Structure formats: C-alpha cells, structure tokens
A and B are shown apart, each in its own frame.
With several copies, the nearest count.
Chain A
Amino acid sequence: MVNILYFASFREMLGQADEQMPAQHSTVGALISELAQRGDLWKQALLENTNLQIAVNHDVASRETAIKAGDEVAFFPPVTGG
C-alpha cells in the first residue's frame, strides 16, 4: 500500500486528510492520474493546479518521482509558515 496525505487547503477541498491506495503506480504522476479520475474536484486539485506541491517520504518530490509500497506521498499548497 501507499500512504497518501493531504494538507491545508487540499485537505479541506478534497474532504480528507489521508488514505491508503494499493501500490500499483510507478510514479507520483501515475498515482495522480488515477486520483484525478474521481471527478472534477480531484482533477482541478491535483492535475490542473500549478501550485501543487508534492513530498515523498518527507522529501520534496515531483510527478516524476518513483514510488513503491510503503511510501508516504503528500499533496499540499505552497508553504506559508514562519
């Protein structure tokens, strides 16, 4: 399985903080493609959003980043701390 986390406006927009998916996608991009099929909201948030930030296992990642079973993938907007 792959652990998926949503933060801040993404969590609120998509209505969930985390979920698990079977580890059947080779990259973050492939995972996003499947999630986007859930509807317009998901497509907008993950596929068409140029502000999308991605982390894999707590490191900054991109759509090209490879993923495997046990990985933690996170989606969130640009950070605004400090």
Chain B
Amino acid sequence: MKNAEEMYPYIKIQQADFDLTVENAKLRTGHKDIGAVVSFVGTVRDINEGDEVAILELEHYPGMTEKALEKIRLEAHDRWSLEASLIIHRIGKMYPADQIVLVAVASRHRENAFHAAHFIMDYLKTNAPFWKKETLPDGDVRWVDSRVSDKEAEARWAV
C-alpha cells in the first residue's frame, strides 16, 4: 500500500516547521499560467480566551486527516478554477508565534485563489481531525473548545 505522501502529494502532516518561500516555489513548480498565489499561515496566538498561552499541542487522527484535507482541497478545485494548491498542518508541540498551518493556492486570476484559500481554511477548521491542547504559564492544561464562529464560517460556503 502506498504511503500518505504518495497518495496525497499536496497534503503534508508534519512536526517540522515549514518555509513559506520554499513551499510557494514547490506549489508553482510544473504549473503554467499562474498569476496569483494566496498563502494563508495560521500561527500560535500568545493569548486565547483572555489567557496567555505557553505551549500549544496539536493531536490528529492519522489517516483520516489526510483523507479529510484532500477532500477539502479537491472540493476547492471543483468550485474554482485553480492551477495548484497545497495544505501543510503541523502536529506536536508549538509555541507562541510558531506557524501551525499553511494553505497555499495558485490560480490565473486572484479572485479564485482568494476564495479557494479562504474556503479551504474554513473547512479545515471544522472538518479536519485535529485537536488543540494549550498549556498556560502556570502549568494548567486545557483542551481548546471549538468555536461557534468556525461553524458559521463554514456554513457561509454552502451551495
């Protein structure tokens, strides 16, 4: 059986950080007629629900995550005319200001890339099996609650 990297070359789940310039170059390689690249980077905020955050830990469901992200990515390609797209999501321990997630979309014209990147992020937030656990400076540990606003953001894209 093929591994996730072969099955889903545009989806990466990794502990390592990523480099925006490198990933943008990879995204565009082999694709012609690109005029617009929209990249979204989600970062660890130093404050959540009014409290300082010291550590953020990301857990995921291996196998289902890749499948869910690829489904979202292909849905974006169905809805808009895109040349290429990729999703990288980190797992494990992260710290304030660290990069968590990258969604990058390339298209001929900017309109499509903006909409598709936004759509992918909104769907990822509510449909990809990742869970955040935060450690406060005093050592308290808590699971992050899902946001109603994320459900509403997803609902906006309903056909």
Question: Does chain A bind chain B?
Answer: yes
Q: Which residues of A contact B (CB under 8 A)?
A: 5, 7-9, 55, 58-60, 74, 76-82
Residues of B close to A77: CB separation below 8 A: 131, 143, 146
A81, B128: Cβ atoms closer than 8 Å: yes
Could you say which of B125, B143, B145 contacts A81, with CB atoms under 8 Å apart?
A: B125
A8, B59: Cβ atoms closer than 8 Å: yes
- Whole-angstrom distance from the CB of A82 to the nearest CB of chain B? 4
Residues of B close to A76: CB separation below 8 A: 61, 129, 131
Could you say which of A55, A58, A80 contacts B132, with CB atoms under 8 Å apart?
A: A80
A81, B61: Cβ atoms closer than 8 Å: no
B125, A58: Cβ atoms closer than 8 Å: no
Measured in the bound complex, the distance between the Cα atoms of B121 and A59 in whole Å is 19
One digit per residue, 1 when the CB lies within 8 angstroms of any chain A CB and 0 when it does not, for chain B 63-93 equals 1100110000000000000000000010000
Interface size classification for chain B:
20 to 34
Residue of B whose beta carbon sits closest to that of A82: B125
Residue of B whose beta carbon sits closest to that of A58: B64
- Whole-angstrom distance from the CB of B47 to the nearest CB of chain A? 16
Residues of B close to A8: CB separation below 8 A: 59, 131, 133, 143
A81, B60: Cβ atoms closer than 8 Å: yes
B59, A7: Cβ atoms closer than 8 Å: yes
Residues of B close to A82: CB separation below 8 A: 42, 89, 100-101, 121, 124-125, 128, 130
- Is B24's CB within 8 Å of the partner chain A? no
Could you say which of A7, A59, A79 contacts B126, with CB atoms under 8 Å apart?
A: A79
- Is B144's CB within 8 Å of the partner chain A? yes
- Is B135's CB within 8 Å of the partner chain A? no
Measured in the bound complex, the distance between the Cα atoms of B67 and A46 in whole Å is 24
In this complex, the member of B58, B67, B131, B133 whose beta carbon has the largest number of chain A beta carbons within 10 angstroms is: B131
Q: Which of B110-133 contact A (CB under 8 A)?
A: 121, 124-133
